Every structure is written in structure tokens, then in C-alpha cells.
């Protein structure tokens, strides 16, 4: 149960986009090339009282329009005129970014389980949408000794060559 405490976070200027999780982790697109990720409270989701602390400052390759946060706060996805950039926030010495070139994407969001992303382009420019999904590694199904790969790692390592879907009927 959440405490009935109202916390304020003041910004010097209006953010370009914001993403938030149920456990109090949130991301702010402070400029078109920078995201700041914060944690409010202890991260358990039980109490959001306490101070806000910055966890990450992420510099982006492309001019970003929006962002999507996975429900557990482990992965960020951003949209731009060239496609999607995926950032693993829990990378332990591994590559933590992945770019997917698929054309202009304006809106982006994760599914409830964090294993799918839906991105859509502005309707007035093109009728392109992209749906990306990751699944458990096939290697772990063949070898019972290896632990399954975490979803945030799959977003960086599993995607090969996604193709956008164009709706010709509309």
C-alpha cells in the first residue's frame, strides 16, 4: 500500500517526454539527445517517500521524440526519424545499446510483460508501424544447465533485422 504522501519534483524547463514505472523509477527526456533516469524512494514500490536520486544519464545517437519504459524499468526504448534505440539499464559489462533502423517512429511503448515494443509513425507522413518482440533463448531449451537470458539482455542481443509493416489498406 502506498503512503498518501505527495512528492514534488521540480524541473527548470518542460521535459520533452517522461516515462515512469510502478516501482518509482522514471526517465526524463531532458533534451532531444539526453535522458536522465531517476529513482524515487527505495525502489521496492512499497514506499515512494524519500529523495529522488539520479541513476543514469544517457546520451543518445539520434534526435529523440519519445521514450518508452519497460514495466520493470530495466529497458528504455526511444523513437526518432531513423528508427528505435534500445538501452539496457542493467548492463553488467555488456553492450547496453541497440539501434534499429526502420524509418521514422513517433510513438513507442512496451507491452505489460516488457517482451514487446510497438512503435508507430505519424499518420500524416507514412503509415508505418513496427512490432518487435523477444523470446527466451533457444539455446537454453536445448541445454538445461545454462540459465535463461534476462529480457533486458535479449533486447540487445536477439534482434536481427526487423522489418516495418506498412498498412496499404488505409
Of the two residues 168 and 130, the one the predictor is more confident about is: 130
Helix, strand, coil tally for the chain in percent (to 5): 5, 40, 55
Decide if 104 contacts 125 (C-beta within 8 A): yes
Decide if 74 contacts 91 (C-beta within 8 A): no
- Using the structure block, give the residue that is written with the C-alpha cell 514534488: 8
> Of the segments 27-36, 147-156, 159-168, which one has the largest average pLDDT value?
27-36
pLDDT tier for residue 68 given thresholds of 50, 70 and 90: very high
Residue 144: DSSP 8-state: T
* pLDDT at residue 57, rounded to an integer: 92
Share the mean pLDDT of the chain. Answer: 76
pTM higher than 0.85? no
> Of the segments 3-7, 14-18, 75-79, which one has the largest average pLDDT value?
75-79
Amino acid at each position: 500500500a502506498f503512503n498518501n504522501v505527495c512528492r514534488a519534483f521540480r524541473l527548470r524547463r518542460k521535459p520533452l517526454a517522461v516515462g515512469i514505472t510502478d516501482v518509482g523509477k522514471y526517465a526524463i527526456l531532458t533534451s532531444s539527445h539526453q535522458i536522465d533516469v531517476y529513482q524515487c524512494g527505495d525502489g521496492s514500490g512499497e514506499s515512494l517517500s524519500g529523495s529522488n536520486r539520479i541513476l543514469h544519464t544517457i546520451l543518445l545517437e539520434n534526435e529523440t521524440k519519445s521514450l518508452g519504459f519497460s514495466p520493470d524499468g530495466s529497458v528504455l526504448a526511444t523513437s526518432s526519424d531513423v528508427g528505435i534505440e534500445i538501452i539496457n539499464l542493467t548492463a553488467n559489462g555488456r553492450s547496453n545499446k541497440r539501434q534499429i533502423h526502420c524509418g521514422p517512429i513517433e510513438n513507442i511503448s512496451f507491452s505489460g510483460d516488457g517482451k514487446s515494443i510497438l512503435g508507430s509513425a505519424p499518420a500524416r507522413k507514412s503509415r508505418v508501424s513496427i512490432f518487435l518482440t523477444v523470446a527466451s533463448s533457444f539455446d537454453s531449451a536445448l541445454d538445461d544447465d545454462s540459465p535463461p537470458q534476462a529480457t533486458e539482455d535479449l533486447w540487445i542481443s536477439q534482434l536481427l533485422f526487423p522489418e516495418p509493416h506498412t498498412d496499404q489498406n488505409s
